[in-house]
Amino acid sequence: MIVVTPEKVRSEIAAVCALSQFNEYIRSHIIDEADLSPAAVAAGATNYLEARHHVAEPLQWKVFSHCASVTRLYALYEGFVYELISAWVKAVPSLYSSYARMPEAIVNQHRVGVGVLLQKFGGGYRNEQLTELRIIEPLYFGLSGQEEFSLVSDAFFIDLRNLRHDELCGLFNKVSLDNLGGWLGGHMELQAVCNLAGTTVVGQLKELVDFRNEASHARQEIDETLGVSEIQQIAQFIQLLCDALHEFVLIRYFDALQEVGRLESLGRITKYFPRPDATILAVDKPVQINVGDEIVARGDRVCIATTIVSLQNAGISIETAKANQGNEIGVKFRSSVKKEGLTIYRISSSRLEGDSG
């Protein structure tokens, strides 16, 4: 299962926006509009005058806030990408019966990456999570045909570069997640934000990387600083981009589960009730459904992984529902499944009968 979600990065991005706004309020209050009225002085506002001595130029404050914001936003974006791909790399072996059956792109990159990591160890490379044995063992288990094998995620992050659009797509290609560019190009919310800013996903990522590089490495003065609204615009883009990347990986993961026969179709959502946040599921075959079943709700560009938390039949709460084709069951999921028409699949821990593996 892909356990990484955008929730944490969404919270961190919101914190950057809030701090950027707060910093601008304080800067304006102290530098531009310092309140030194008798009431303010009595409350300690004279400290503003002392604070001014620590800021040689008002522009320096703006530059500091700008650099902190763009550097942090890029770090959150990059960190989420690596975390998401690592989760995918960890999940891939469970989809295939042997190392040799994995996609060729993954196998080739893993072998190359393992070799590079071993060479780095010879040059004094150190990583608390890695030892030479931990690098070699997964490759050995895979090549020797053992059923239990894994991949070294670091093997896919060699020769890292700033994650502009082409580099981002290339990184996903290395782990057999191809056509990311097409997915991002068809993401309506992401495109709407870019259109509003008069740019594209390609252009917005280039601008973010350029701002970040200038903030981190510029040896000369930074001529352009972003205001609060511009920082918030970039933050919104990164949030939607991370959401889109997560959706892309989830869909590809569940497509792979379906290919190896580990998704069992249960039926379709025919009705959603907002107040109890519950649905009606029309069953498409004789089946037994249980509270606690892991399920996936799928549509063309929708993929929601969740679990069943309650069932109802004829208004009565039950733990297990035995239904025939065409029967309707009330289902409440841990995560909201609001869209009618979505197909509901159950995740199986092993391949279904008839799968050739």
pLDDT of the residue at 345: 95
- Are residue 286 and residue 253 in the same domain, yes or no? no
Domain holding 180, by residue range, is: 7-258
**Predicted local confidence at residue 44, as pLDDT:** 60
- The answer to whether position 1 is within a domain reads no
For residues 182-193, average pLDDT: 94
Report whether pLDDT(33) > 70. no
Tell whether 357 is covered by a domain.
no
Tokens found for residue 114: 């393992």
Q: What is the DSSP string of 322-335?
A: EE-TT-EEEEEESS
Mark whether 189 and 233 lie in a shared domain.
yes
Is the distance from CB of 215 to CB of 66 less than 8 angstroms? yes
What lies within 8 Å, CB to CB, of 240 at 6+ separation is 187, 189, 190, 193
DSSP 11-65: HHHHHHHHHHHHHHHHHIIIIIS---SHHHHHTTTTHHHHHHTT-S-HHHHHHHH
200 and 323 fall within a common domain: no
Ranking 14-18, 54-58, 90-94 by mean pLDDT, the lowest is: 54-58
Of 209, 229, 258, the last residue of a domain is 258
Determine the average pLDDT of the residues in 114-127: 76
Q: Select from 258, 282, 314 the last residue of a domain.
A: 258
Which of 99-113, 117-131, 240-254 is the least confident region?
Answer: 117-131
pLDDT digits (tens, 9 = 90+) for 256-284: 998 888 899 999 999 999 989 999 999 99
Domains of the chain: total:
2
